[in-house]
């Protein structure tokens, strides 16, 4: 059990995360969508995140460059949305082979800049180096009022579990074209009613487990309440939906749904509730039976598309 | 002239940099060692930079992992030093193949954390993804009083040109083991006497040209005044010295040298002066003759070690 191939992504990240530093201004380091730190001398927190987007892992050489750019910066903006923060600065490290068309790189940057502009983020720098295939390493910061970041760790037993949109089937195109839920994330933070939040990048089953591990409860999902693109299997495991997954007290659920519809139109789905069975993730099927949701987490170093995590 | 191999790194970076965004709080975007932006509501500026370190480009598979970590974060800290800023937060994206030993990754992180701790920086997150060879993409921030960042663009005709240490021969080990000039950079900013500054990553000849291009003057170097590891050719072109290169008014040069020696001990070298011949880089040889310094810039996408730039 010594190589990445043997222990897998999550075990390796845990070992590396154990080495990370501490600081009095640092509120949250490893283990959430972004790191969160107080901006000294202000009442503002700053969030930090980074995501790689790699050819033949996160996109194909035949994908349109503007869409590759949208995905590269969209993943970072989605992490910022998951904290309820306003995006701020973006930097991009590009790795590319000699044969890379510069015109295609410019189109990737067009995609990055278009999504940045839409959400008030600004691309301010980066670097370019030679490698064997195209990679984009995107770094982003955001801001929000001090102490208000929505973490994975706040879910409470009895909470309703929500998702902001349909899950599954992102491979058909949404994994490139998704729009990060920035406005929705800020709205949810400002509502003061959300207990825990993250974005769905590794699939509902895996990401809900992250919330449960951080918060200490279990969950019972309702199969027919989950908005789906495709089958239940798709909704649970496909990943790269980049919708927000969050919990709030059952008593506030209706008001939250009503305000949501006022502001964003479509229905806000309640897909289950937090139970007092630690780390037990179950689902009630259409026929009323309850099953355990299998743990089939996507991990890098296993052959499949996708995946994102702050260490 | 359509691929990176055909147009080279610097032309490609110029084309990509032309697409970067603007923002009222952004003081300096592309074209310096870091981007610089005002922290809203404060009298502090924040600096941002990112650098890739790639196997067989910036280090060899046989190099010790702690030294690879030192170099990876050292390059970013050196960019922060070049602005005169105090390092703050660090994030690292790792790309690695299946066969990567996790123990070696932990040692790389030990090297990163050791250098961070030395200079008050904190490693707070990152990500891990699969690729064909080992890469570290390091993102860093720093802070300094608003409006005081030392840029490449401030050099004035008649200025003395300084370097903080010997140049050349870094391939023998310094390119991995260098200590970024953080304390020196802050001292130079606080002196209030430095007009322009950057770190020497691409070699004295290339990096001094960057200052001249940004500032509008030329330079006359003195061959025997340049502190060297190896030959003059080594000092001019090797790169990856990670010393600071800066200019200050001739009339302040002696006082600056005296204060430097009080604080840091070794002699601070004056290696030439800024002339009024735009972009003309000359050198006076030991025999008194003056030559043009050839432009042999290192570029990625050509076979040699090294190189760093904020776009």
* Phi, psi of B209, deg, nearest 5: -60, -35
- pLDDT at residue B296 above 50? yes
Contacts of A22 in chain B (CB under 8 A): 122
Position A76 confidence tier, pLDDT thresholds 50, 70, 90: very high
pLDDT (0 to 100) of residue A40: 85
Residues paired with B163 in a beta bridge = B245, B269
- From CA A216, how far away is CA B74, in angstroms rounded? 39
Q: Which has the minimum average pLDDT: A8-12, B95-99, B244-248?
A: A8-12
Across the A:B interface, residue pairs with CB atoms under 8 Å apart total 254
CB contact under 8 A, B21 and A48: no
Contacts of B100 in chain A (CB under 8 A): 3-4
pLDDT (0 to 100) of residue B125: 93
Position B21 confidence tier, pLDDT thresholds 50, 70, 90: confident
Distance from CA of A83 to the nearest CA of B (A): 15
pLDDT (0 to 100) of residue B300: 57
As for the ipTM of the complex, it is 0.93
Q: Which of A4, A117, A130 sits opposite B301 (nearest CB)?
A: A130
Neighbours of A282 (CB within 10 A): 15
Tell me what the mean pLDDT of segment A270-276 comes to.
98
* Percent of chain B residues past pLDDT 70, beyond the cut: 95
pLDDT (0 to 100) of residue A146: 97
Please give the helix or strand (H or E) that residue A93 lies within, else none: strand A86-96
CB contact under 8 A, B309 and A113: no
Distance from CA of B250 to the nearest CA of A (A): 33
Tell me what the mean pLDDT of segment A134-156 comes to.
97
Interface test with B, best of A78, A131, A305 (most B CBs within 10 A): A131
- pLDDT at residue B297 above 70? no
* Percent of chain A residues past pLDDT 90, beyond the cut: 85
CB contact under 8 A, B127 and A96: no
pLDDT (0 to 100) of residue A297: 67
| Residue B258, phi-psi category: left (phi > 0), alpha (psi -120 to 50), beta (remainder) | alpha
Tell me what the mean pLDDT of segment A108-112 comes to.
97
pLDDT per position as a tens digit, B203-241? 999 999 999 999 999 999 999 999 999 999 999 999 999
CB contact under 8 A, B4 and A99: yes
What residue ranges define each of the domains in chain B, with the CATH number in brackets?
Answer: 4-145 (3.30.1330.10), 152-292 (3.90.650.10)
CB contact under 8 A, A122 and B21: yes
Distance from CA of A3 to the nearest CA of B (A): 4
- From CA B2, how far away is CA B4, in angstroms rounded? 7
pLDDT per position as a tens digit, B166-192? 999 999 999 999 999 999 999 999 999
Q: Which of A62, A78, A71, A64 is nearest to A92 (CA)?
A: A71
Tell me what the mean pLDDT of segment A52-61 comes to.
94
Position A31 confidence tier, pLDDT thresholds 50, 70, 90: confident
Contacts of B49 in chain A (CB under 8 A): 91, 125
pLDDT per position as a tens digit, B146-161? 999 999 999 999 999 9
Tell me what the mean pLDDT of segment A242-248 comes to.
98
* Percent of chain B residues past pLDDT 90, beyond the cut: 85
pLDDT (0 to 100) of residue B267: 87
* Stated pTM of the model: 0.94
- pLDDT at residue B9 above 90? no
pLDDT (0 to 100) of residue B295: 87
Sign of the CA dihedral with A280 first, then A283, A289, and A291 last: negative
- From CA A42, how far away is CA A62, in angstroms rounded? 46
Distance from CA of B131 to the nearest CA of A (A): 8
* B148 in Cβ contact with B28 (< 8 Å): no
* Percent of chain A residues past pLDDT 70, beyond the cut: 95
* B303 in Cβ contact with B8 (< 8 Å): no
Nearest CA in chain A to B53: A129
CB contact under 8 A, A125 and B37: no
- pLDDT at residue A251 above 60? yes
pLDDT (0 to 100) of residue A9: 83
């Amino acid at each position: 059990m010594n190589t990445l191939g043997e222990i897998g992504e999550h075990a390796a990240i845990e070992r590396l995360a154990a080495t990370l530093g501490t600081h009095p201004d640092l509120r949250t380091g490893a283990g959430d969508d972004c790191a969160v730190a107080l901006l000294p001398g202000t009442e503002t927190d700053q969030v930090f995140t980074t995501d790689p987007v790699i050819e033949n892992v996160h996109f194909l050489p035949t994908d349109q460059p503007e869409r590759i750019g949208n995905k590269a910066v969209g993943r970072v903006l989605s992490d910022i949305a998951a904290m309820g923060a306003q995006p701020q600065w973006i930097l991009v490290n590009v790795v590319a082979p000699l044969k890379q068309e510069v015109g295609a790189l410019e189109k990737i940057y067009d995609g990055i800049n278009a999504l940045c502009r839409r959400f008030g983020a600004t691309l301010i720098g980066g670097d370019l180096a030679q490698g064997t295939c195209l990679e984009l390493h995107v770094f982003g910061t955001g801001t929000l009022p001090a102490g208000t970041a929505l973490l994975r760790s706040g879910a409470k037993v009895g909470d309703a579990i929500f998702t902001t949109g349909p899950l599954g089937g992102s491979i058909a195109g949404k994994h490139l074209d998704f729009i990060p839920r920035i406005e929705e994330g800020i709205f949810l933070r400002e509502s003061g009613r959300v207990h825990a939040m993250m974005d769905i990048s590794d699939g509902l089953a895996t990401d809900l487990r992250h919330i449960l591990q951080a918060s200490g409860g279990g969950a019972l999902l309702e199969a027919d309440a989950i908005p789906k693109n495709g089958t239940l299997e798709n909704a649970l495991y496909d990943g790269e939906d980049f919708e927000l997954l969050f919990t709030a007290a059952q008593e506030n659920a209706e008001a939250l749904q009503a305000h949501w519809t006022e502001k964003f139109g479509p229905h806000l789905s309640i897909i289950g509730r937090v139970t007092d069975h630690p780390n037990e993730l179950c689902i009630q099927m259409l026929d009323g039976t309850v099953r355990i949701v299998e743990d089939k987490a996507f991990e890098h170093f296993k052959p499949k598309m996708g995946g994102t995590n702050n260490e």
